[in-house]
Structure 1
Amino acid sequence: MFEWTLQHIWLIPLMPLLVFALIGLFLHKWPGISAAISIISIATGLALSVVTLIGMLKGGQPLHYEISFPWLKMPGLTVEMGLLVDGLTVVMLFIVTLVAFLVQVYSLGYMEGDPGFASYYAYQSLFAAAMLGLVAANNFGQMFVFWELVGLASYLLIGFWFGKNSAREAAKKAFITNRVGDFGFLLGILFVQIIFGTLNFGELSPQVADYTNTALLVTVTLLLLAGPVGKSAQFPLHVWLPDAMEGPTPVSALIHAATMVAAGVYLIARAFFIFSATPEAMQVIAFIGGFTALFAALIAVTQYDIKRILAYSTLSQLGYMVMAMGLGAMTAGMFHLTTHAFFKALLFLGAGSVIYALHHEQDIRNMGGLSRKMPVTTWTFVIGALALAGIPPLAGFWSKDEILLSAYAGGYTGFYVLGLLVAFLTAFYMFRLIFTAFFGESHARGHHHAEVKESPLVMTIPLIILALMSVVAGFIGAPFTGNPFGHFVHYAGETHHEPEMVVAVTSALIGVLGIIAAYLVYARKMVSTARVKERLSGVYTLVYNKFYIDEIYLWFIKIFVDGTARLMFWIDINIINRLVDLSAEITGALGKALRYTEDGQVQTYAYYMLGGIIILSAAVLLAGLGIMR
């Protein structure tokens, strides 16, 4: 069975792609059938992924299976279509298919009655196909094609409720921001082709190892890095992700928590042989990731929209992963990507359950007391928050500690301290959300709080499954289990660290302290938040307004982009148009003058001939007299 599945792994991305075409062309008027075939296709892909994962684990050795054939061939350029199945691929296939399946089941309840129900499942299938094709690609060219399809599907899903102006603007913002990063990524791919003559990952690895032009390799690496900075929403291209929360909440769980935003981290892991070849590039990666982790965590502390808190949390955790990659801990970064996919999808779907019950209220200040009304949503959400905060023995504890341990063992003291600070902030803002929204007195306004009830089973069962994964997923990389995750996923020469009690105890205590701080401030009210805001008004305003990065971009667009456009307009009107008009006037004047020479009258032509004869005779006469020579 394993061998058959391995040879037919291409069915996993193909099936949802065919479903997208079927719904779009034929089944748009039958939403129930559209949802059914979409869920069946992704469930089949999940089954194939599970078989592949089990077969790999039973094999006892890291997996490597590759097939390819030429897709585009011309002098100097050959682009392949192919599949590469190894530990990285299998892990990502499992994550994408499992989360996509649970999100699509959950959406049966959340999106019930929506007039675009069939279109929603078509877009979900397109996204799943694009993401699965991306993670299975064996070369940069094919990866870029699916990379752009992921961006298209994201645009369609973020702007799904296009009747809202905010949704339309968020979709455009996400699409345009990602184009900035993708432009750099494409330039990097072109440089790779020019320098090495191939885009295949397996063929590139030995060539990169032997390449000696460090300056050029750093340039190529940084251009490639632009793709992950955009797709994984790293500073300074992070601005699109919080606004992307305008899409349906299940979309946020699938795209902006578990899969699409993880594509950038996955790219760094897949092409780690390039990024790790230059220490300078690795330093840049680590600094971008570390800064994003702290920057986003600070913003999350001040937000009130439940989805935006989770969005900034996602930014912060992605920064954690990118920082790990920059420190050389590729396996640790991928381990955290894996566990984070489960508990962050759980948190987004839990937020969706709350929003559904409160008739699309998203401000946590208008919530409270939900634990009594929605016990399943509450306690699964708490499990997800504990995992995110890194509380043992939940999944986030093991993966977060791997990153902290990599920094600690590698002597990167600054990054280690930064990681601990982010861990504290993470625990604090997540339990600020929990103590405000789920516990304490109700603050619901205009939502008939007494009528609030638990979401239907089709929504709560995915929450329970993801909560279970948030508990057990970390054990695949725990040191006492022999770390099967590290054995099958890493291939970059990284060694798995032994357990370090100092790091483990410190990180766990930091998470607990964050929870206690949130409890004292938001549950016991021992600290007046209003007084803190008043005393730190300048700092609070700066952080609450997201450090005014969006405003800076708008100012830049207004001054430079719009200014350049106005300058070009003035040049077009006052210089280009005038030159064109002048040339037209000259041509017209010459035409008018020459028009009199062509009037069709025989007498006029006789006069011209007579004039010519007189001029010619005069010239001959003057020449004969010696006046003209």
Structure 2
Amino acid sequence: MSVPPPETAFFATAVVETAFLIPLYPLLGAFFSLLWVPGLISRTGPRPSGYINLLFNLVAFLHSLGAWIAFNGTPLTRSLPWLDTAGLSIRFDATINTPVLIAMTMICGIHVLAQVYAIGYLEMDWGWPRFFGCLSVFEAGLCALVLTDSLFFAYVVLELLTLGTYLVVGTWFNQSLVVKGARDAFLTKRVGDLILLAGLVALLPVAGSWNINELNAWAEQATPSPPLTLILLALIAGPMGKCAQIPLHLWLDEAMEGPFPSTVLRNSVVVVGGAWVLLRLEPLLSVSPTVQAVLVIVGGTTALVGALIALAQVDIKRSISFLVSSWLGLLFLAVGAGAGETAWQMVLVYPLPMALVLLALGTVVSSNVTQDLTQLGGLWSRRPLMGIAFLVGSAGLVGLPPLAGFGALRAMTASLADSQAPLLLTAVVLITNGLISAALVRVFGLIWGGRPSVFTKRSAEVLWLMVLPPMVATGLVLHLPILIHRAGYGEEWGPMALPLLASTLLGITAGSLLYLFSTEHLPKLSGPLAGLQEWLAADLHTEGLYRRTVVGLVAALAAMSSWIDGALVDGFSNRSGDLALEGARRLSLSTTGRVQAYAFTVLVGVVLMGLWILTRHTPAFLSL
């Protein structure tokens, strides 16, 4: 075995030890974008801001990739003090290990592809500085999230990502739907963030630390109790909101009103940020069986219901957004069932295939005047490369060998054998996998299958900048099993491989018969099932339910508070003021301008005050 030269070894060590600085690269790109935001630089137009952000993101990707290659397996830790007062010590703890480097490489790589894609997608747009700057902030936040070992700073980063979602979704803020989508995304995620903050504050006096490694070590000796269970339930609320799990799932489809490159990033890597925090806390959450049961129920429900809702959607973006929630629901189920190692593999497998699916669909949205699935079709003769890219990305998400999604789902089904309800949970995974397969084939059939419609007959070609990223991502998805195996994941076929493959083929067959080879463009269910289809298409009328319950309760409380403020608080103050003004007005009538009258008034006042004093305090000489 050859020994590397000292210069090479020194360079490799330096690359790994400076990997803590990777989040600073995109932050610098976002900072330089500020020069174009208020028009400080106007002669060049806004395009240089995008190129500068792309350059810094490329440097971040190369640094993270080099650190992953040069990493020798020994974790590196750093701890920087941030606040130390009154017995409260808050430090920014960070760790470099193999999963962190893989995650940062994935984050930075997908951001590079998305920003190249955005240069073509937003060619005629003037909002480059704000948009590209926000994308770089996303990248910096996600890299910091995977680096940090501090639960407190993980919460801070999640809050910044929530703000970033609001800014990116609201890029085209002159459109009412965009404003509504940005607002709903911000408020819905804030619900989970606030509950997470409550659990974060309550956890410190119980566990004595916010360091995630110390919390997991403390969990080994901790015993479940009702207060601890409530705290742990609060901790999973934040990841539920970030991963769009029921009932905090409404924001994801509305957030797709923003530019499509931001949708690619949000649905592939940003949503996984919540899953990353959940997985880091998995040893702590396993202390409470109640919390694990809640994770299984939430994940299983979201997986099944999300896939069913996706099958009934007619909007391209909405159909994919519910599949995102469904797939991440399987991850929540794995964490709740105690399959933490499998969940880590799922986190590493998911982002790249989903990004590829969205990159392919973005070319369709960009080159057609509609994103209604019922009005598309026949694009295989005009967009075969994008159709192939979509199929490869879809195959990477479901249980279809030899791609990485098959290995992750097979490992998950195998790990469920040790759970408390192996048959039920395995059935949920297999059914969800079949439904996701059918939903993806449905989208492919309605866009690329059939005959061209009036909207696709003259579908224009997209710029090469929008074709290059999907082609690169296609090659990466095909090679992802090799990369995952190099990271230490991936096993041989097990007893659950054939049932998983059968569920995938069943879903593909059903989707093909209904939507790819069907004479009807959108098969309609008949009889009682028609109502079910409409119910699923309307997202179970969840928004209306929220409006009648949560929003209605808040509105009633606001109305009652307004009445109390107006009738009691303001009423008392206003009445007191009116009485004072009336008294002053009446006293003003006694003003005559004569000194005798003023002297007489003072004399009367002195006499009355003296009588009052005498009646309350009798002098000692009078009491003898």
Matched ranges for 1:393-408 at <5 A? 393-408=402-417
The answer for the alignment partner of 2:448 in structure 1 is 438
1:535 to partner: Cα distance: 4.8
Once structures 1 and 2 are overlaid, which stretch shifts more, 222-231 or 212-221?
212-221
Matched ranges for 1:225-236 at <5 A? 225-236=236-247
> Which residue, out of 548, 559, 569, partners 2:562?
569
The answer for the alignment partner of 1:493 in structure 2 is none
Assess, with a 3 A threshold, how the Cα gap between structure 1 residues 129 and 363 changes in structure 2: closer, same or farther: same
> Which residue, out of 485, 488, 502, partners 1:485?
488
> Which residue, out of 433, 438, 452, partners 1:428?
438
What is the CA–CA distance in structure 2 between the aligned matches of 1:230 and 1:614, rounded to whole Å? 71
1:627 to partner: Cα distance: 11
1:191 to partner: Cα distance: 1.4
* 1:155-201 deviation line (CA, Å, top 9, x unaligned): 11111111211011000000000110000111111112222332122
1:378 to partner: Cα distance: 0.9
**Contact map agreement 2:196 2:238 (CA 8 A) in 1:** yes
Assess, with a 3 A threshold, how the Cα gap between structure 1 residues 119 and 527 changes in structure 2: closer, same or farther: closer
**Contact map agreement 1:134 1:143 (CA 8 A) in 2:** yes
> Which residue, out of 139, 160, 164, partners 2:175?
164
**Contact map agreement 1:5 1:51 (CA 8 A) in 2:** yes
**Contact map agreement 2:356 2:393 (CA 8 A) in 1:** yes
Counterpart of 1:283, as a letter, is A
The answer for the alignment partner of 1:372 in structure 2 is 381
> Which residue, out of 299, 313, 318, partners 1:303?
313
Pair 1:502 & 2:476 matched:
no
What is the CA–CA distance in structure 1 between the aligned matches of 2:171 and 2:256, rounded to whole Å? 11
**Contact map agreement 1:76 1:197 (CA 8 A) in 2:** no
Counterpart of 2:405, as a letter, is G
Once structures 1 and 2 are overlaid, which stretch shifts more, 506-515 or 558-567?
558-567
> Which residue, out of 507, 514, 518, partners 2:507?
514
The answer for the alignment partner of 2:366 in structure 1 is 356
**Contact map agreement 1:533 1:540 (CA 8 A) in 2:** no
Pair 1:460 & 2:475 matched:
no
The answer for the alignment partner of 2:294 in structure 1 is 284
> Which residue, out of 42, 45, 57, partners 2:60?
45
What is the CA–CA distance in structure 1 between the aligned matches of 2:49 and 2:522, rounded to whole Å? 49
1:99 to partner: Cα distance: 0.6
Q: Which runs of 5+ in 1 are unaligned?
A: 487-495
Counterpart of 1:553, as a letter, is Y
The answer for the alignment partner of 2:577 in structure 1 is 584
Pair 1:152 & 2:163 matched:
yes
What is the CA–CA distance in structure 1 between the aligned matches of 2:445 and 2:166, rounded to whole Å? 34
Pair 1:92 & 2:103 matched:
yes
What is the CA–CA distance in structure 2 between the aligned matches of 1:265 and 1:560, rounded to whole Å? 31
Assess, with a 3 A threshold, how the Cα gap between structure 1 residues 239 and 628 changes in structure 2: closer, same or farther: same
Assess, with a 3 A threshold, how the Cα gap between structure 1 residues 558 and 189 changes in structure 2: closer, same or farther: closer
* 1:562-591 deviation line (CA, Å, top 9, x unaligned): 222222222222222221122223434555
Matched ranges for 1:188-267 at <5 A? 188-212=199-223, 214-255=225-266, 257-267=267-277
Identical-residue share of aligned pairs (%): 26
Assess, with a 3 A threshold, how the Cα gap between structure 1 residues 284 and 583 changes in structure 2: closer, same or farther: same
1:558 to partner: Cα distance: 4.9
What is the CA–CA distance in structure 2 between the aligned matches of 1:436 and 1:614, rounded to whole Å? 95
Indicate the SS of the match to 2:19.
coil
Counterpart of 1:581, as a letter, is N
Assess, with a 3 A threshold, how the Cα gap between structure 1 residues 208 and 595 changes in structure 2: closer, same or farther: farther
* 1:581-613 deviation line (CA, Å, top 9, x unaligned): 222234345555666899885424543576557
Assess, with a 3 A threshold, how the Cα gap between structure 1 residues 68 and 583 changes in structure 2: closer, same or farther: same
What is the CA–CA distance in structure 1 between the aligned matches of 2:513 and 2:112, rounded to whole Å? 39
Indicate the SS of the match to 1:450.
coil
Counterpart of 1:539, as a letter, is L
TM-score in terms of structure 2 length: 0.90
1:292 to partner: Cα distance: 0.5
**Contact map agreement 1:96 1:132 (CA 8 A) in 2:** yes
What is the CA–CA distance in structure 2 between the aligned matches of 1:472 and 1:87, rounded to whole Å? 19
Counterpart of 2:56, as a letter, is S
* 1:222-261 deviation line (CA, Å, top 9, x unaligned): 1111100111111100000011110111111111x22111
Counterpart of 1:435, as a letter, is G
Indicate the SS of the match to 2:245.
coil
The answer for the alignment partner of 2:397 in structure 1 is 388
Indicate the SS of the match to 2:298.
helix
Pair 1:32 & 2:47 matched:
yes
Assess, with a 3 A threshold, how the Cα gap between structure 1 residues 600 and 12 changes in structure 2: closer, same or farther: farther
What is the CA–CA distance in structure 2 between the aligned matches of 1:510 and 1:234, rounded to whole Å? 23
1:208 to partner: Cα distance: 2.9
Assess, with a 3 A threshold, how the Cα gap between structure 1 residues 522 and 606 changes in structure 2: closer, same or farther: closer
Assess, with a 3 A threshold, how the Cα gap between structure 1 residues 222 and 531 changes in structure 2: closer, same or farther: closer
1:511 to partner: Cα distance: 0.6
Counterpart of 1:90, as a letter, is L
What is the CA–CA distance in structure 1 between the aligned matches of 2:336 and 2:149, rounded to whole Å? 23
Indicate the SS of the match to 1:72.
strand
What is the CA–CA distance in structure 2 between the aligned matches of 1:506 and 1:610, rounded to whole Å? 106
Assess, with a 3 A threshold, how the Cα gap between structure 1 residues 451 and 420 changes in structure 2: closer, same or farther: closer
1:525 to partner: Cα distance: 2.0
1:514 to partner: Cα distance: 0.9
What is the CA–CA distance in structure 2 between the aligned matches of 1:614 and 1:53, rounded to whole Å? 92
What is the CA–CA distance in structure 2 between the aligned matches of 1:43 and 1:400, rounded to whole Å? 32
**Contact map agreement 2:36 2:49 (CA 8 A) in 1:** no
